[in-house]
Each structure stands twice: as structure tokens, then as C-alpha cells.
Structure 1
Amino acid sequence: MKNHLIQRLNLSDILDILSQGGSPVATYLEKIPSKFTKSSKLRLEAFSKLAYVLYITKEKELAKFIVSRLAEVPFENNYDYWEWVESALVLKGLLAKESNETSAYDSAQASILEALNSGNELQLKVKLSVHKRFLEGETLDDEKIRFYANKGDAIAECNERIILLMTLLKLKFFGTEVSYPVEKIEHEITTQSDLINSLISTVGLFKITPFK
């Protein structure tokens, strides 16, 4: 009964549940600045990014707590919002796979594919073309990382590496569908995770997005 009721909650309700004082991630959410909480979309983006930061820093149970709830947000043809719900579903699926929770992974994958395969003929053509390029690794780009690294801006570099890692983890999520070399994905995930943790130890966790 409880799960049924949660499924019926809207995005704002789910974000509010995560922000409640008794929430295990409340102390992190309190440190997210107001510029990231002015709208449901901004809060959704900040919460999704926080989940990835927690995952990277080995706080996987807290990451799971966030994405399990964000994954309840239904697809309503709003791609500005769905980008961040999809990110949560990807991380939920990967965490489920690590715990051998096959049904939870399958559920996350089904939600993503349902959104991907929705729309009219033209929308489908565009979405599937973009998805195909993604599966081929065409969206992997470290130009901004190199720019900020050369500039000596460790905070911006860390933020960009997190974005790259999110893309790599999404490639991993799609597994056998990906035409980009799996071994290279795994190697890059390990490399980027190590570099991000190193940068966080240098600049401090609360100096990076979504805390600044």
C-alpha cells in the first residue's frame, strides 16, 4: 500500500520527501545552495548529481536512497526533467546489478526504454539516432576537462570529470547494446573515479557541484 501511494506522488512531493529532516541525506541536501533549489527541475538536477557524488565517494547506500526515490518520477514527455530522472534510473540499475537485484535493474531499464521509444515517428527517429551515437561513444568528450586542468582550476575539472563519469556509467548500464569497447569503459570508469576522489580530497567535497 505504501509503495502504491509513493508511486502516485508528483516530482515536488518526491523531492520534499528526500529533503525531510529525518532523511539520511538531509545533511547533504541542506548544503545545496538556493540557486539550485529555485525550481523542481533545478532540485531534481542537484539531487541526481548528489547521488553520483555519493556513489563515487563510496556512500552507495545514500546514493541508492536518493535514486530509488527519483526513479519513481514518471515520464511525462518533459525531456528537460527526464534527463535527470534517467540519470537516477541508470545509477539505480547499476547499484541493483552490483547487488544482484535483477528485477530492480530490469525495472530501471524498462523505464528508460519506455521513454526512449515514446513519441511520434519523427521524434522516435531523432531519439534513436541520438541514442545510437551515444552507444558508439560519440558523446564522450574530455575537452573541458583538459581546459580546466591546464588552467589549474581543480574544482571545475572535478565537476567536468563527474559529468564524463556519468556518461561512462550510462554506457556501462546499457551493457551489450554498446558498440564502444567494454574494457575501455571499465578502465575509464576506474580512472575517472580515482581522479575525482583525488580532486575531492584536495578541494573538499562541499566545493564541488551540487554544493557550489
Structure 2
Amino acid sequence: MSKNRKPTRVRRLSAEAVTAGHHIIGPAGAEPTKVVGTDIENDDFGTPAVVVATLDSGDTLRIATGSQVQIAVDDAEAGAGSIPAQDGTPEAVIAHAVSVHPESTQLQGIAERLSNGVNVKSGSNLQDVHDLALSLLVDFADATNAQRVCDLLTPLPFDGNFGRWKWIEGALALASYLAYDDGDPARADAYSASLRTADDAETDPLKAKLAGAVRQRQLNAPNLYDPEISRAAAAGNPAAEKDWRVVRLTALFYLRSHGGSETLTTEELTRRIHNELLAIRAL
């Protein structure tokens, strides 16, 4: 913190979401110290295990992945993070979610595109809302705001337009995982049930049977983009690797929301989602 700006509150952040510019509160409540860089160390099995935060003092903090730390927030950030008076409207939810992460030009760009309101008939608007929720979880480990943004889409019904539905479906799959991870399996199941309404939309018995068989094959042998991820990693292209891993992550959310399959259990999918989030944040 600068000498002229005192921390007014503290918020908790996932270890993997700590980035340069954050003011982290050290062990035993030590004074907030600015982070100037982070790195992630893997364990002997190649799984991200420890976040190493380098401080402006030259010291380092080693933080276990999956744990949370405290970040000091100053007056300006606290003001920006307050919820607008029209709390509950899509615009207010989006504005609040983005204001919590003022350092992100990506989130600011999405908010700007949605500044005139969310048109639920617009596929591009639905995609922006979905992408905002996904980025909040993936890039900032902000599950609370990711859930709130998801819920701008989760009440929308399937209307036969699969181009629009895929973004609503993605939000339902993400919301289902977030609810499960938050210890609310009943709510997670409710999101999953809403997602599967499109599966039962076909009224012709023969077409419905054929569609069900195709869907089961997709669940049993899903495309998880292993070749694309391997090629990007081998080429030393972390941006492309991250993009493909995010696509894989959304596929894992979808699979989990369907209760797994004959080849992938919900427990295995949950494990893979956790590991995928760690791998993405390590890039």
C-alpha cells in the first residue's frame, strides 16, 4: 500500500489467484506487502502444489495451492467494489463483479460491451455473460461473483435455439459445479436438471432415441482436446495452451453436470476439474 492509502478492509483470495500488484497479508497477520511476481511449483507427480509469491521486499511466500490468503484492499478499491444501488439487476451484478478486479482489462472490456444491458435474445450478449463468469472463476478464483453472473443466465429456458442455448447450457454447467463445490448438492442438482431440459426436447420417439444414443456416445468418449493441448505445450505457446485447456474445462463441467458417464464418474470429473483449474492458473 502507498503511504497515502490505508487498507480499509480485507478479502480472501485463492492462492492461485494471487498476482503482481496484490497486497498480501503474511503469516500471523504480518503487515500487507506488495506482490511483484508469482510462480507455481509442481510436486513430483507434475501437479501444481505451491504458489511462490515474490514480495517487493525481496522475500518470498510459499502458499499451498487450494488454500486461501488475505489481501488488503485500499480505499479506492473498496469504493469500486461496493454494490450499486440497483443491486440485483444484470447491470449491477456485472458492474460489481468487474469492479472487484479493476486490474483486468479483459473483464473491463466485457463490461463495456454489456454496458447498455443484457439482451437475452442476443447470442453475443449471452456469450459475454458466460465468458465473464468463466473468467471470474478461472483467472481470479472468484467463485462468489462467478456464481452471481451465472445466475443471470441460469433461469433462461430452452427455446429450441441451440446457438443461444449453448451459452446458457455452459452457465448452468458452471453453476452446477460451483454449487457442488460450495457444499450445496441440491442446488447443483437443480442446475443440472435445468441443463438437461434440452436433452428431452425432442418429441418424436425415434428421433429422441437416436439423439439419446449419440449423446451417450459423446459422454462416454468425449473430446477433451489432448492433441491440441500437447501441441501448444510442445511449441512453448502458453496462451494457446491456456485457451485449449479452458475449452477442455468447459467440456468437463458439461460432463459433470450430466452426472458423468459409463467411462467417467462424477468423482473423476471433479478431480479433473480441480487439476485443470490448477494447470490453467499455472500458465
TM-score range normalised by the length of the shorter chain? 0.7 to 0.9
What is aligned with 2:136? 54
Alignment check: 8 A CA contact 1:94 1:173 kept: yes
Cα offset, 1:22, TM superposition: 7.1
Cα offset, 1:137, TM superposition: 3.4
Q: RMSD over aligned Cα, in angstroms?
A: 2.7
Matched residue pairs, number? 180
Superposed CA deviations along residues 79-116 of structure 1, whole A, max 9, x for unmatched, are 01111101111111222222333442232122122221
Alignment check: 8 A CA contact 1:93 1:106 kept: yes
**Farther off after superposition, 187-196 or 85-94:** 187-196
1:113-192 correspondence runs (5 A) = 113-121=196-204, 123-175=207-259, 177-182=260-265, 184-192=268-276
Cα offset, 1:76, TM superposition: 0.5
Larger Rg: 1 or 2?
Answer: 2
Cα offset, 1:160, TM superposition: 0.8
**Farther off after superposition, 132-141 or 85-94:** 132-141
Q: Which runs of 5+ in 2 are unaligned?
A: 1-88, 100-105
Cα offset, 1:63, TM superposition: 0.5
The one-letter code of the counterpart of 2:172 is L
Cα offset, 1:20, TM superposition: 4.4
Cα offset, 1:190, TM superposition: 2.8
Change (3 A) 1:193 1:99: closer
1 CA distance for matches of 2:122 and 2:91? 12
* Pair 1:194 & 2:278 matched: yes
Superposed CA deviations along residues 43-88 of structure 1, whole A, max 9, x for unmatched, are 2123212312222331000100111111022210000111110111
Alignment check: 8 A CA contact 1:48 1:87 kept: yes
**Farther off after superposition, 189-198 or 50-59:** 50-59
1:65-84 correspondence runs (5 A) = 65-84=148-167
1 CA distance for matches of 2:199 and 2:270? 25
2 CA distance for matches of 1:18 and 1:190? 29
* Pair 1:25 & 2:91 matched: no
Q: Which runs of 5+ in 1 are unaligned?
A: 1-16, 200-212
2 CA distance for matches of 1:51 and 1:159? 16
SS at match of 1:87: helix
**Structure showing the higher helix proportion among its residues:** 1
1 CA distance for matches of 2:171 and 2:272? 20
The one-letter code of the counterpart of 2:129 is F
Give me the identity figure in percent: 25
Change (3 A) 1:19 1:148: farther
The one-letter code of the counterpart of 2:128 is A
Please give the TM-score of this superposition, normalised by the length of structure 1: 0.72
Please give the TM-score of this superposition, normalised by the length of structure 2: 0.56
Change (3 A) 1:21 1:90: closer
**Structure showing the higher strand proportion among its residues:** 2
**Farther off after superposition, 51-60 or 160-169:** 51-60
Cα offset, 1:156, TM superposition: 1.6
2 CA distance for matches of 1:134 and 1:22? 34
Large movers: runs of 4+ above 4 Å: none
What is aligned with 1:111? 194
